[in-house]
Amino acid sequence: MDKKALETLLSDMSTEEKVMQLVQIPGSEYEADAEITGVERGQVKESVKRLAGSTLGIWGSKRLKKIQEQYMKEHPHHIPLMFMLDVIHGHKTVLPCPLGQGASFDPEAVRKGAAMQAKEAAADGVHATFSPMADLCRDARWGRIMESTGEDKLLNSRMAAAMVEGYQGEDLKDSAHIAACVKHFAAYGAAEGGRDYNNTELSEHTLREHYLRAYGEAIKKDPVMVMTSFNSINGIPATGNTFLMKKVLREEFGFKGVLISDWGAVGEMINHGYAEDRKDAALKGMMAGVDIDMCSGCYSAHLEELVNSGAVPMKLLDEAVLRVLNMKNELGLFEDPFRGIDTDAGPVISEESRNLAREAAAAGLVLLENKGKALPLRKEKNAFIGPYADTKRLQSSWAFSGDDENTVSLWEAALELYGPEALKTAAGCTMLDQDAVTARGQRHVDHWQEENDRLLTEAVSAAEWADTVILCLGEDSAQSGEATSKASLKLPAVQLRLLSEIKKTGKRIVTLVFTGRPLELMEVRELSDALMICWLPGTEGGHAVLDVISGKRSPSGRLPVSFPYTVGQEPLHYDIYPTGRPKPENGPFEYTSRYLDCENGALYPFGYGLSYTSFEYGGEKLSAQKMSAPESITASVKVRNTGDMRGDVTVQLYIRDVCASRVRPVRELAGFRKISLDPGAEEEVSFVINEEMLRFWTAEEKWESEAGKFLVWICDSSSAGKPLEFRLEGRA
């Protein structure tokens, strides 16, 4: 359908029809078993259900085809319904959680993963996903850090942009792709105290310099949708924030697509104290530019009245409706309301998708410690112990359309590789502490201690039999994600008890930690010979972990977030601003910026990760020591594999603007490149530094670079390397 035909359709629609195109209702209104927790069917009027423009939380080619047929039959203009779903890191084949994908430092792999997710979801009738999440996350207490790709704006920018490209492909009419939605706009990751849905308080400088960057880069890839965030920003809820949605998103970023609220966020402006009632909330959401009201009911109840009274101009309504109709048109729904669905089978997990998931999971595993070369595993007796040793729950709470039965557990993968004779397994303990079990309303709490004593006895017996214990610990998958903020970042006490008791056996301990967030690992580090972060690795998690710990491949993941010594350091990130009283490396520390009881920096910093082989950096150089605005400088380093195994390494470029009109971070990631080297092989890695890379939000509130001295590091983590120096001459 061309633009003129869309405009003709719009002009023929009643005000009620127009309004309802901006209304999204839960999938439970169409199917009782839709995957939306806590939402009962029958909460929406039949008149709204008949005309609502979109729904969410429901999938399955057979049932969606049936719903679409009935919906279009009853709709006055036979406009198709849109089906949206949270396809966050997999539909049927589940990839690692986004934080685990960030650890790969591989945007191309992330793009391929998003394309695979889109293909599976589209085959199940889904038209759009609420992904990628481009929120900058610097506080591990916030559970939704699991959905991000980390604490760095450049890494987040490249990963979010890659996901948009993967989901949408080159042509959205291609039924193997779906619409992407960049979320949550804006600064949701800066919630005060790391508490979900909480206020954020950021200067415009911090907002622009750090938090808006990844959204902006993702929007350059033309996502079909952007989602508002739940939080208020500097006292104004994002969903009613005209400055953010109109000036920044529409005018500055040039976003032309559909702006959708998060679940109920329009109505929640009442709780914020920003809207007087639901009618006022509908008015403020509409005037701020929110095109689709997700499940608050404010638009369906009051927007027509607001338009008829003149409070909301008809022109504004028409613009929003035209954007929604255009989205349906871009998806090809007017020509094919079923978007290529011609089978009831839906998506099938393929060998290709499993291989992709296996590679993605393996690439994100981060080796933190390897004392005495405890890894790779030796060909001897190995005991897999812990609550993650033999479970298929290797995906996050945001992969609810995936099926656990399709997941390969660590134990299954170990049996495939080693056979049963050289292996034993034991749970060792429950996943959660007793108070956490009680809080979740689970049964058998009265026998919790008795059960854990029995499990511990079995685990110690297995450990005494083994030469090496592979201790599989971590957060429960439901302990990270939405509404999972935590004031403690320690592993459950029952798991730490297990680790302590296994240590007493004197056996070699390889600890694998499954998590959706950074954790406090001081005690774990001290009691382990090797320590690896496995994230929530998804469908092929078992195979991926065994590929690495067995030595089939060397670990290559790098931390996309800093791991703290203690939760008291949060929010924690590497790209901090310098202080007037820095803590000296040597000498007296009194009256300097420091903790009395903890280091300032991370236990494990951003960009850190070990390998089974070793890499030597040398010959760092800049092509020039001076640069003017039209010119560029090349920074290069020679990297040699000095070990005896092939390995991948992510070479990282960091830059510091030494003196500027605003204080600049001590260093910022400016580029990264992953290379593979055979033993003894050497490669020169180069990065081009241009003037645009040196721009920042200046004291004059402009994106500009400023003349002066810059430092450059080419290294393997945010705390490594020795700086080179150049000067930028003139001003851009």
Taking only the tens place, the pLDDT of each residue in 177-234 is 999 999 999 999 999 999 999 999 999 999 999 999 999 999 999 999 999 999 999 9
* Whether the Cβ atoms of residue 116 and residue 93 lie closer than 8 Å to each other: yes
Strand partners, 604: 563
In the prediction, which pLDDT does 343 show? 66
In 3D, which of 152, 98, 139 has the Cα closest to residue 486?
Answer: 139
H/E element holding 436? helix 434-439
- Amino acid at site 234: N
In 3D, which of 604, 516, 610 has the Cα closest to residue 557?
Answer: 610
Place of tokens 């003196």: 659
* Whether the Cβ atoms of residue 49 and residue 25 lie closer than 8 Å to each other: yes
Question: Cα–Cα distances in Å, from 47 out to 26, 55, 79, 320?
Answer: 14, 15, 15, 21
In 3D, which of 646, 641, 640 has the Cα closest to residue 552?
Answer: 646
Tell me which DSSP letter residue 684 carries: E
Question: Cα–Cα distances in Å, from 20 out to 51, 298, 457, 479?
Answer: 6, 11, 61, 36
Q: CA-CA distance, 598 to 302, in Å (whole number)?
A: 54
CB atoms within 10 A of CB 121: 28
* Whether the Cβ atoms of residue 362 and residue 548 lie closer than 8 Å to each other: yes
**Catalytic residues, which ones?**
262
Report the greatest alpha carbon distance in the chain. Answer: 79
DSSP letters along 297-330, please?
-HHHHHHHHHHHTTSS-HHHHHHHHHHHHHHHHH
In the prediction, which pLDDT does 23 show? 98
Question: Cα–Cα distances in Å, from 586 out to 590, 599, 678?
Answer: 12, 13, 39
- Amino acid at site 40: E
Considering the segment(s) 91-330 as one domain, its CATH architecture is Alpha-Beta Barrel (3.20)
3-class SS string, 496-542: HHHHHHHHCCCCEEEEEEECCCCCCCHHHHHHCCEEEECCCCCCCHH
* Whether the Cβ atoms of residue 187 and residue 229 lie closer than 8 Å to each other: yes
* Whether the Cβ atoms of residue 600 and residue 585 lie closer than 8 Å to each other: no
In the prediction, which pLDDT does 732 show? 46
Measured torsion, CA atoms of residues 500, 502, 506, 509, in degrees rounded to the nearest 10: -100
In the prediction, which pLDDT does 587 show? 75
CA atoms within 13 A on the CB side of 411: 18
CB atoms within 10 A of CB 62: 14
Q: What share of the chain is helix, strand, coil (3-state, %, to 5)?
A: 35, 20, 45
Residues of the chain with pLDDT under 50: 37-39, 732
- Amino acid at site 310: G
For the chain, the structural domain boundaries read: 21-85, 91-330, 351-569, 615-729
In the prediction, which pLDDT does 76 show? 97
Tally DSSP H helices, then E strands, for the chain.
21, 26
Q: CA-CA distance, 564 to 489, in Å (whole number)?
A: 9
* Whether the Cβ atoms of residue 315 and residue 287 lie closer than 8 Å to each other: no
206 backbone dihedrals φ, ψ, rounded to 5°: -65, -40
Strand partners, 94: 90
Answer whether 0.75 is exceeded by the pTM.
yes
Domain spanning 615-729 has what CATH number? 2.60.40.10
Place of tokens 């930690």: 513
In 3D, which of 148, 116, 290 has the Cα closest to residue 218?
Answer: 148
Q: How far apart are the first and last CA of the chain?
A: 45
* Whether the Cβ atoms of residue 239 and residue 288 lie closer than 8 Å to each other: yes
Domain spanning 351-569 has what CATH number? 3.40.50.1700
